[in-house]
């Protein structure tokens, strides 16, 4: 179940860290965020090394729908209400700047990654939700975004209303990563096993650096930071359809059963990425997410051919804003980029620009709204209570099934649940994933399950 990006391109292999290295900066994680942070730092003359537990872009970057957009669902009306216009403007400005920065790098490096400017839409099929669309249009305009209300879309069904952002973008993410990572120092299969202030240890080597940047999707260290209390993870599903219709824009439904659409052009072939079926990790015991997407594809594009299907996982912050900046107030030389929601491409660039500025001692005009040390209690309280309740439930449940099945996650001991569509074990507390046999697939867990250790 590889994404179309992975089907199209295999990235070159990198060696494992098997020595001790002393360098100015070390980045943990070679996804889009880690690669961009290293690229921008190196562009400013900084020495950087990247440690990757698996291979470059093997995580969420390889499964993205690759929308580069400042349109992050109904975000701007929410930000103005909860945090005020100033911080909402910071958020919008940072993400609009990120789109321009991608374009700058593509042009500078002459990258053939099908980067294309296009419009992005939020839509509703429900008349009672049109007011939310209209409010988002006004809020986005206050924040300086070129937004408009429309009922005209390319979708295979009519909508009651949509907000259109012009000047957004899309691309082939792995082609982009391949090019900008060519001159970076990257160590693959080099999982970090512990940190001691400036020293980052792997099984076979160590890097000592002045600055340590966590860009590993979900920080696995419990304290300081307490990110396990401040995020949960959600999984969503995508199918790639070959169709006779071209889709120029990018779309996301705001309704409970809304779907994501974006077009892909490859060698004269029209493709549409149809996404949906999102759920909190550990809550897909019955399965049927791919079947749901296929039924919609048959309804909307009856002459389509399915080319691929895959899923991706996202870290969802308490207040809808990523955590970008100092990992903890107690450790000034550690930085973090996490909690991107479902907007990893734009947020990765935002993180790269902010963290680069911080390390170079430059003032960032958009830093404040993303600071992990913010404490917007009113915006966070509901989600914090829900996350806590889920964790308590997961920790207290006893496994009733018979046979060799895992009893608890190797991260914090929560009971695991089966994802019927993926055939994997998922942690409903913090989102770790394991194969059916117990091999670690994704964090924050760092170890295989006991059942894997027993049989291997």
Sheet architecture: strand order including 433-434 = 417-419, 424-426, 433-434, 440-442
The span from the CA of 166 to the CA of 398, in Å, is 51
With H, G, I as helix, E, B as strand and everything else as coil, classify residue 392: helix
pLDDT tens across 22-81, in order?
999 999 999 999 999 999 999 999 999 999 999 999 999 999 999 999 999 999 999 999
To the question of pTM greater than 0.85 for the whole model, the response is yes
**CB contact at 8 A, 147 and 216:** no
Q: Among residues 59, 45, 2, which one has the least CA distance to residue 432?
A: 59
CA distances in angstroms from 373 to 31, 219, 266, listed in the order given: 24, 15, 43
Domain spans in the chain, listed from the N-terminal domain onward: 4-64+175-230+320-376, 116-169+232-317, 402-455
**CB contact at 8 A, 313 and 433:** yes
Q: What is the pLDDT of residue 266?
A: 79
Number of H helices, E strands in the chain: 11, 21
CB atoms under 10 Å from CB of 146, counted, come to 13
Two tokens, residue 172: 């082939």
Q: What is the pLDDT of residue 450?
A: 78
pLDDT tens across 306-334, in order?
999 999 999 999 999 999 999 999 898 99
The span from the CA of 258 to the CA of 240, in Å, is 17
The span from the CA of 206 to the CA of 17, in Å, is 8
- Biggest alpha carbon distance in the chain? 62
Torsion of Cα atoms, 6 then 336 then 428 then 195, to 10°: 100
CA distances in angstroms from 302 to 158, 305, 338, listed in the order given: 17, 9, 39
- Residue in the block written with tokens 């209570």: 385
CATH architecture of 4-64+175-230+320-376: 3-Layer(bba) Sandwich (3.50)
**CB contact at 8 A, 225 and 328:** yes
Q: What is the pLDDT of residue 10?
A: 94
Which residues of the chain register pLDDT less than 50?
A: 398-403
Q: What is the pLDDT of residue 197?
A: 82
SS3 content of the chain, % helix, strand, coil (to 5): 30, 30, 40
CATH architecture of 402-455: 3-layer Sandwich (2.102)
CATH dotted code for 116-169+232-317: 3.30.9.10
């Amino acid at each position: 179940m590889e994404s179309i990006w992975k089907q199209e391109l295999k990235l070159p292999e990198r060696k494992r860290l098997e020595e001790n290295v002393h360098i100015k900066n070390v980045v943990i994680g070679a996804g889009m965020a880690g690669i961009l942070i290293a690229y921008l730092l190196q562009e400013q003359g900084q020495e950087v090394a990247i440690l990757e537990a698996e291979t470059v872009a093997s995580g969420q970057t390889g499964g993205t729908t690759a929308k580069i957009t400042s349109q992050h669902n109904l975000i701007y009306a929410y930000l103005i209400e909860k945090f005020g216009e100033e911080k909402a403007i910071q958020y919008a400005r940072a993400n609009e700047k990120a789109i321009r920065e991608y374009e700058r790098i593509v042009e500078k490096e002459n990258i053939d990654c099908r980067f294309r400017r296009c419009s992005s839409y939020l839509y509703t099929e429900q008349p009672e939700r049109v007011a939310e669309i209209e409010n988002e249009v006004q809020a986005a305009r206050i924040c300086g975004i070129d937004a408009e209300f429309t009922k005209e879309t390319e979708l295979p069904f009519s909508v009651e209303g949509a907000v259109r952002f012009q000047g957004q973008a899309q691309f082939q993410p792995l082609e982009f990563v391949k090019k900008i990572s060519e001159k970076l120092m990257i160590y693959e299969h080099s999982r970090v096993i512990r940190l001691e202030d400036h020293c980052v240890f792997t099984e076979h080597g160590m890097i000592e650096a002045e600055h340590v940047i966590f860009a590993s999707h979900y920080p696995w260290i419990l304290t300081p930071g307490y990110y396990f209390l401040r995020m949960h993870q959600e999984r969503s599903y995508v199918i790639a359809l070959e169709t006779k219709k071209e889709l120029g824009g990018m779309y996301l439904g705001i309704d409970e059963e809304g779907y994501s659409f974006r077009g892909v052009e490859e060698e004269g072939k029209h493709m549409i990425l149809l996404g949906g079926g999102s759920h909190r990790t550990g809550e897909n015991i019955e399965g049927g997410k791919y079947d749901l997407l296929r039924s919609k594809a048959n309804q909307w594009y009856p002459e389509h051919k399915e080319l691929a299907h895959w899923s991706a996982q996202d870290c969802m912050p308490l207040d809808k804003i990523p955590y970008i900046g100092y990992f903890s107030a107690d450790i000034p030389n550690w930085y973090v980029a996490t909690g991107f929601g479902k907007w990893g491409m734009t947020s990765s660039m935002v993180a790269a620009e902010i963290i680069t500025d911080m390390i170079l001692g430059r003032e960032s005009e958009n830093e404040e709204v993303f600071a992990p040390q913010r404490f917007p209690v009113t915006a966070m309280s509901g989600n914090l209570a829900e996350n806590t309740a889920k964790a308590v439930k997961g920790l207290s449940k006893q496994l009733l099934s018979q046979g060799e099945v895992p009893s608890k996650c190797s991260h914090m001991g929560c009971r695991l649940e089966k994802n019927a569509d993926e055939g994997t074990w998922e942690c409903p507390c913090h989102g770790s994933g394991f194969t059916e046999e117990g091999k670690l697939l994704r964090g924050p867990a760092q170890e295989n399950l006991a059942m894997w250790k027993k049989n291997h």
